[in-house]
Structure 1
Amino acid sequence: MKYDLNKMMCLDVFLSDLTKEVQHTVDSQIQNRKIRSMPLLSWDLYMEGYSHQLAVAIKRLERDKVLGFAQKFNWKNDLNFAFSENDYEALIIMDLNQNIIWVNEGFSTMTGYSKKFAMNKTPKFLQGKETLEDSKSRIRKKILLQVPFKELIINHKKNGMAYTCEVKIIPLISDRTTHFIAFEKEVI
């Protein structure tokens, strides 16, 4: 079988997919002619698209995980709408006492704390010397009222670095509020 090597734009990908017998034939053709190499110009475009697709897939898996909790706890909230309306890095699901029952990987990336470490703790472990009492007080009041809200709070990463976090908290309701979901992202 003869291959037109002049028409192959991505020789390394092509070669990696050949059987040993076919690769031997192609190798002899390559050695008998000069092949003009082309710079790899499209890798950055490919990676941008791949990164976007990966991020979309991760968000879909996270949404599906939360929808699984919704089914288990019979939440009546429109969580598909909540996901479409809220941009986030970290997702946290807490019970009524604000004990964390689940976080996504984005939580670990944003804070430096592992998912395992966060389990059964309240988000208070993220607060530190730069966390403002006013922010904490407003969040406590809105949690007690069990209403959706958005707040900025200064939290602290595992390494001690302070960061401003936008928190959107929504009560999760079956017959009554049973849990809360927090959509969080670091803001500058």
Structure 2
Amino acid sequence: MSDFKDNLSNMMCLDLYLEARSHTEYENLKLRIQPLNHASPLLGLDLYAASFQAEVELGRRKKDLQDILDFAPGFNNQIDPGIILNTSYDALVLTNLAQKIQWVNKGFSKMTGYTAGFALGKTPRFLQGKDTKEENRNRIRQKLLDKEVFTEIVVNYRKTKEQYKCEITIIPLTDANRNISHFLAIEKEVA
């Protein structure tokens, strides 16, 4: 058995080790090999880890979608689930018509360093700073007035004062009378 363990530690996998044995040696070893009670869904751990991470990410997105619909059930028919489930993003921010933050997902705190409690009631301008360009601010103001979906990249600042570029897609949401009442921002840090 010692020889088996020593040789096995030098081999890449049990299959290769067993293949190199004679038929008689294989038959003797076969009795000592115990199968696992469970197996990973994939043979390669790196593939399994990537698959697992993708499942975790999808679960996070489903939770974000459910949280926003729980917060504002009137938006059920307005928010295309595919936008949240199939889009890569770091944060979701819901503002009212006055652009005051009403709700943020957990990703917002992770990306900015600010808690949800701190952000609620403020405008997203608190994330801006000296390198946030005025022309970007003006474009965003105009596009909000146009009340159409748009994407813009802005320079924002974390709580630590570290600068980052943020791609923001804004989706206007309407009330029961079809008047715009909120904006949903889908935010992603970009290089």
Contact 1:75/1:172, CA 8 A, preserved across alignment: no
Q: Which residue of 1 aligns with 2:67?
A: 65
One-letter amino acid of the structure 2 residue matched with residue 63 of structure 1: L
Cα deviation, 1:112-136, whole Å, max 9, x if unaligned, reads 1111111111101100111111111
Deviation at 1:84, TM superposition (A): 4.9
RMSD: 2.4
Deviation at 1:88, TM superposition (A): 1.3
Q: Which residue of 1 aligns with 2:33?
A: 6
Q: Which residue of 1 aligns with 2:55?
A: 53
Contact 1:142/1:149, CA 8 A, preserved across alignment: yes
Deviation at 1:85, TM superposition (A): 5.8
Q: Which residue of 1 aligns with 2:186?
A: 183
Instruction: Name the SS of the counterpart of 1:151 in structure 2.
Output: strand
Q: Which residue of 2 aligns with 1:170?
A: 171
Q: Which residue of 2 aligns with 1:145?
A: 146
Q: Which residue of 1 aligns with 2:137?
A: 136
CA spacing shift, 1:5–1:99, aligned 2, 3 Å: farther
Structure 2 Cα separation of the partners of residues 182 and 5 of structure 1 = 59
Structure 1 Cα separation of the partners of residues 32 and 101 of structure 2 = 58
Q: Which runs of 5+ in 1 are unaligned?
A: 15-40
Please tell me whether Structure 1 or Structure 2 has the larger radius of gyration of its CA atoms.
2
CA spacing shift, 1:5–1:151, aligned 2, 3 Å: farther
Deviation at 1:83, TM superposition (A): 2.4
The percentage of aligned residue pairs carrying the same residue is 37
One-letter amino acid of the structure 2 residue matched with residue 64 of structure 1: Q
Structure 2 Cα separation of the partners of residues 149 and 106 of structure 1 = 21
Q: TM-score, normalised by structure 1?
A: 0.74
Instruction: Name the SS of the counterpart of 2:161 in structure 1.
Output: coil
CA spacing shift, 1:44–1:121, aligned 2, 3 Å: same
TM alignment of 1:68-107, pairs within 5 A: 68-71=70-73, 73=74, 76-84=77-85, 86-107=87-108
Structure 1 Cα separation of the partners of residues 53 and 60 of structure 2 = 11
Instruction: Name the SS of the counterpart of 1:120 in structure 2.
Output: coil
Contact 1:131/1:154, CA 8 A, preserved across alignment: yes
Q: TM-score, normalised by structure 2?
A: 0.72
